[in-house]
Amino acid sequence: MGIRFDLFILSIALLSAPCLSDLVLSKVDRRDDMTGIASVDLTSQIVRITSTLKVENLGTDPVSEVLLPFPEHQAKNLAYLAATINEGKGKAKSSAASLPIEVAHPKEMPPGLIWYSVSLPKGLGKGERLTLDVLAVFTHALRPFPEKISQAENQFVVFQDSAYYLSPYAVKVQSLSVKLPSDPKLESYTKIENTVVSGSEIKYGPYENRPPFSYSSIIVHFENNQPFAVAQELVREIEISHWGNVQVTEHYNLIHGGAQSMGEFSRLDYQARPHVRGASAFRHLVAKLPPRAHSVYYRDEIGNISTSHLWVDSKKTQLEIEPRYPIFGGWKTSFTIGYGLPLKDFLFQTEGKRFLNFSFGCPINDLVIDNLILKVVLPEGSRDILVSVPFPVKQWHETKFSHLDMVGRPVVVLEKMNVVQEHNQHFQVYYKFNNLSLLREPLMLISGFFFLFVACIVYMHADLTISKSSASYVAKLQWDEVQTAIQQVQNIINRCLTIHDRLEASLRDLSRTGDVQACKATRKAADSSLKELSKELKPLVAFLHSSPQAAQILPKVEELVVKERELQEKLMSKHSTVVDIYEKKTGGREIENRVALIQQKLTALRQEVEDQLEAID
Ligand SMILES: *[C@@H]1O[C@H](CO)[C@@H](O)[C@H](O)[C@H]1NC(C)=O
Ligand SMILES: *[C@@H]1O[C@H](CO)[C@@H](O)[C@H](O)[C@H]1NC(C)=O
């Protein structure tokens, strides 16, 4: 084949295996015959190795830990390691709690190994036995070979491990099964003694009585067109609102981590036969969101992506994500999904504290996450924050500001490299929160709105009085003007009447003194005065004509003016007649009768004018 693999050779180890303890692995099965699940699972891009170890203490001292070594090249890809006690076939495995595991540095061990130590719940005494289930999950452990393929080619990958279980303890009986994707195209595999291929499985063993650190490299080269979706970075933001919502926003930076795509990409070819012309590409990803998720969206920097589907039932909400183009090896895409969740499903109270209980990992299955940054944004005013995560993570605090925030919201940031589905475990963020703080923002809003409304009312009120009064004020002003005009008219009429009186008086004087000249002078003065008054009257009457508010009173005023004019004319004719009588000394009954007639009319008119004045008043 002409390829070189980093073969791991433990020749030194085999020569100088130290006597670590009196433990012996009486049986190692990396094959689960009962359930039929292969113990080295290569069906996806993630390698899962489950091992069942029957541990037996042949020594006299109790043993409290079991050591698990991994070759360095494997250990750097180790994403998850868990060990549980297998209580026997009857018990469900999931009920067993994981045992504590720590990185260990045992002395005088062969080089090139990374060690983990599993602490047993109680020491294993002389002759006692125990069965451990160990799950190790590796990412980036399947190497594409060839490393570059064209659009139409299938993707082949290489996996490397040991046919013998690598252990510091002697292994009495062991076997291994490698499970490949269904209907496997097996390019090559390492054949040693007791190797059988059956269906999509390669079985190694059983092998008996292998000494500590036995190692026999096996290489499997096979077709694997599973979606090699790798999130180089995933930022999940979980924002708690005590008003009933948990808002989750997830930013993905995805790459196809499989064989690099080379040559031109032909969409035409791809669309015509996507399974043949793009077998190694991935089109869909499925995110399993919690039940009752709402306001789900999926977008990238261009905008919303409509080619996604949402299925909702009582157990889960499933979002099928379809990027804008198929993702081939080495291609990248980034997008954001977001959704809201009911607060009561995730926020609980205990001993005066609140706590968020939320899943750590990402909702997309079989996604490898190189770097996961998880931010929990707590409500403003939260304090005494405590985080509980079931595995080691980097952790720090930040502050986030959004609208109405005064001091900012505390943000707990958790960072973890190399995250897989097994990390979808619950973590808790405990914090204290004063309920009064909850009221701060609404109070701010309420007082804000209150002042706004007060301001509005004041403004509206002011505006109303101005506009209302401006209408009524103008009307009032106009009415005042009308009244003033009417008063002036009355005034003028009264002054006319006074002049009439003066003329009458001059006539009486005339009859007593016979001084015609004096009477004429009075008449002349009266004429000019009346003329003046008549001039003054004209604009007032014109104004009353133009003013709508004077409409009602106008006829009476006009009648008054007409009557006064009539009265004036009659008075003048009487005056002239009487003066004539005295001048020409004609006298006589006829004239006296004429004057008496005029006098009657004058008296009547005078009465009418005075009545009219009173009516107008
Ligand atoms: C994108 O989708 C979300 C949720 O469906 C919606 O609220 C938003 O208005 C959409 N934005 C655009 C630009 O269409
Ligand atoms: C968190 O939620 C999970 C799943 O609902 C549950 O099994 C677990 O007990 C919860 N943890 C705590 C501390 O309440």
CA of 562 to the centre of ligand 1 (A): 82
Report residue 159 CA to chain centroid gap.
Answer: 45
164-173 pLDDT, tens digit per residue, is: 999 999 999 9
**Ligand 2, residues 345, 425, 426: which to mutate, most atoms within 8 A of Cβ?**
426
Which residues fall within 8 angstroms of residue 112, CB to CB, at 6 or more apart? 8, 10, 71, 72
Distance between CA atoms of 546 and 539, rounded to whole angstroms? 10
Q: What are the strands of the beta sheet with 113-124, ordered from one edge?
A: 63-71, 113-124, 101-104
What does the alpha-carbon distance between residue 344 and residue 342 come to, in Å, rounded to a whole number? 6
Question: Residue 18: what pLDDT?
Answer: 46
CB 306 less than 6 A from any atom of ligand 1: no
> Degrees (nearest 5) of the Cα angle 133, 135, 138?
165
DSSP bridge pairs for 38 = 31
Asked if the 1-86+100-223 domain carries CATH number 2.60.40, the reply is yes
For residue 427, give the ligand nearest its CA.
2
- Beta bridge partner(s), residue 358: 427
Lowest mean pLDDT of 142-156, 173-187, 469-483, name the range: 469-483
Dump the DSSP string for 37-94: -BSEE-SSSSEEEEEEEEEEE-SSS-EEEEEEEEEHHHHTTEEEEEEEE---TTS-GG
Which of 357, 359, 386, 428 best tests ligand 2's pocket when mutated (most atoms within 8 Å of CB)?
357
| pLDDT at residue 202 tops 60 | yes
Which residue's alpha carbon is at the smallest distance from atom 12 of ligand 1? 304
Closest CA relative to residue 101, chosen from 387, 418, 390: 390
pLDDT at 325: 83
Domains 1-86+100-223 and 229-439 share a fold: yes
Give residue 293 CA to ligand 1 midpoint distance, Å: 16
DSSP E strands in 279-401: the ranges are: 285-289, 294-299, 309-312, 317-321, 332-342, 347-350, 353-359, 368-377, 383-388, 394-400
305: exposed, middle or buried (C-beta count within 10 Å: 0-12, 13-18, 19+)?
A: middle
Yes or no: say if 39 and 30 are a contact pair by the CB < 8 Å rule: yes
Q: What is the mean pLDDT of residues 14-37?
A: 59
* Radius of gyration of the chain, Cα coordinates, nearest whole angstrom: 55
- Judge if the beta carbon of residue 538 lies within 6 A of ligand 2: no
> Of 186-200, 368-382, 593-607, where does mean pLDDT reach its minimum?
593-607
pLDDT at 38 over 50: no
Strand-pair partners of 137? 48, 80
The pair of three-digit structure tokens given for residue 138, joined into one six-digit string: 């590796």
Ligand 2 proximity of 383 Cβ (cutoff 6 Å): no
- The least confident of 177-181, 469-473, 558-562 is 469-473
Q: Cβ(343)–Cβ(246) under 8 Å?
A: yes
- 308-359 pLDDT tens trace: 788 888 888 899 988 888 888 889 999 999 999 999 999 999 988 999 999 9
Distance 190 CA to ligand 1 centre (A): 54
Angstrom distances, CA of residue 121 to CA of 57, 97, 198, 268: 15, 10, 39, 61
- pLDDT given for residue 444 in this prediction: 76
Domain residue spans in the chain?
Answer: 1-86+100-223, 229-439, 471-615
Q: Please tell me the distance between residue 229's alpha carbon and the centre of ligand 1 in angstroms.
A: 26
**Please, what sign has the CA dihedral across residues 53, 57, 63, 69?**
negative
Contact 269, 385 (CB under 8 A): no
The answer to whether 298 and 335 are in contact (CB under 8 A) is: yes
Highest mean pLDDT: which range of 79-93, 367-381, 591-605? 367-381
310 lines ligand 1 (CB under 6 A): no
The residue-averaged pLDDT of 35-59 equals 83
State which of 297, 337, 339 you would mutate to test the pocket of ligand 1, scoring each by most atoms of that ligand within 8 A of its C-beta. Answer: 297
Query: Looking at ligand 2, which residue's alpha carbon is closest to its atom 7?
Result: 426
pLDDT of residue 9: 41
CA-to-CA distance for 197 and 41, rounded, in angstroms?
A: 15
The four Cα atoms 58, 61, 64, 69 give a dihedral, to 10 degrees, of -50
User: How far away, in angstroms, is 422 Cα from ligand 2 center?
Assistant: 16
Q: What is the pLDDT of residue 366?
A: 85
Q: Are 505 and 515 in contact (CB under 8 A)?
A: no
Ligand 1 midpoint to CA 297 (Å): 7
Residue 8 has pLDDT above 70, yes or no: no
Of 4-8, 250-254, 405-409, 543-547, which gets the smallest average pLDDT?
4-8
Q: Report strand pairing: 217-223 vs 347-350.
A: unpaired
Which H or E run contains 431? Answer: strand 426-432
Is residue 408 pLDDT above 70, yes or no?
yes
466's tokens: 């101005």
297 lines ligand 1 (CB under 6 A): yes
- Interatomic CA distance for residues 298 and 254, integer angstroms: 14
Q: For 229-439, which CATH class?
A: mainly beta
Q: What is the mean pLDDT of residues 520-545?
A: 88
CA of 402 to the centre of ligand 1 (A): 21
Average pLDDT over residues 269-294: 80
pLDDT band of 16, cuts 50, 70, 90: very low
Which alpha helices (DSSP H) does 89-244 contain, by range? none
User: pLDDT digits over 460-513, tens only?
Assistant: 766 555 555 567 777 777 888 888 888 888 888 888 888 888 888 888 888 888
User: pLDDT for 50-100, tens place per residue?
Assistant: 998 889 988 888 999 999 999 999 999 999 999 998 876 655 555 568 899
What does the angle CA 491 – CA 495 – CA 500 come to, to the nearest 5 degrees? 145
What is the whole-number distance in angstroms between the Cα of residue 290 and the centre of ligand 2? 14
pLDDT at 407: 83
Contact 338 CB / ligand 1 (< 6 Å): no
| pLDDT for res 504 | 87
With a CB cutoff of 8 Å and minimum separation 6, the contacts of 564 are 493, 496, 497, 609
Cα 368 to ligand 2 centre (Å): 24
Name the average pLDDT for the chain: 85
